[in-house]
Amino acid sequence: MTREELERRIRTELNLPHFKAQIDENRDYSEDDYQEFKSSLVNYYKAYVQDIDTDFQGGLD
């Protein structure tokens, strides 16, 4: 699949309507590449984004 197809699937499957991938636009991505990329995004979210509101509940003081 192309970069555009990969982005479209991520936007749909992960409900990220404005997602833009910083990946090679000239490469042809396999289903395995897609699943690995998607898994990496989900893991990043869980590790760094999901609990951000918990981190800032006390404010930025």
Count structural domains, the chain: 1
Residue 25 lies in a domain: yes
Residue 61 lies in a domain: no
The span from the CA of 33 to the CA of 13, in Å, is 15
Measured CA to CA in angstroms, residue 43 lies from 4, 48, 58 at distances of 22, 8, 26
pTM equals 0.76
The residue segments making up the domain with residue 19 are 1-39
Residue 47 lies in a domain: no
**What's 36's DSSP letter?**
H
**Which helix (H) or strand (E) segment is 44 a member of?**
helix 31-44
pLDDT digits (tens, 9 = 90+) for 27-59: 999 999 999 999 999 999 888 877 666 555 555
Residue 53 lies in a domain: no
pLDDT digits (tens, 9 = 90+) for 8-21: 999 999 999 999 99
Residue 60, pLDDT above cutoff 80: no
3-state secondary structure of 49: helix
